Structure 1
Amino acid sequence: MANADQVELMRIISPELAERAVDLTQRAGSSEFCFPLGDGESVLAALLEAGVVPLGGDLWEVEDGEYFPTGESWYVNSIEGESVVDRVNRVGVAARSFFEVHRAVENGWVTFVVAV
């Protein structure tokens, strides 16, 4: 089963988004939930609205039912003294840019690194 922070992530998002998620624990040995790339912005919005600011995320692809990390990711470093509003804005820009760049990836999935 996914780690506690990932389980909490699933409680935050809508049931519709949660229904489309895949637990990578058994499928890929990663204790995370993975979401279709097209749901990435909605998952991000739900997290930010709940006050959970992701540290970053990773792109995965599915081939023949197997999930593989692509090595593509986004990450936003913390800046000492940065306001929450500024951090949320930087994370939003980085994540949305990542989604846009990779939008055309066929069979693309995304994970989020969170600390809840």
Structure 2
Amino acid sequence: METIGFDDFLKVELRVGRVLAAEPFAQARKPAYVLQVDFGPELGVRKSSAQITVHYRPEDLVGRLVVAVVNFPNKQIGPLMSECLVTGFHDADGAVALCVPDRDVPPGTRLL
């Protein structure tokens, strides 16, 4: 594993957002949802594709807090322009479990 300095870590903008909407991403090659995530007044609402269909239903995602990288360049994923990267961890079977704060924090809060 390569080590990095703290300044390198600070370049990554990990922010908390609240899921406003989640719907199946029918055009995705692998099962995924399109998420609309609110990062507060500074960053606004951003879209993301998330391969989290094993553990989550769209209706259960609405209102949840997630952690996302918000300073990657936008990425075209099929017909969707993804504007952030929602983070998660692969479980023992390879399905993704979301990385989430364990307390309620305001959308837009930066991870430090």
Per the normalisation by structure 2, the TM-score is 0.25
Which structure is higher in helix share? 1
TM-score by length of 1: 0.25
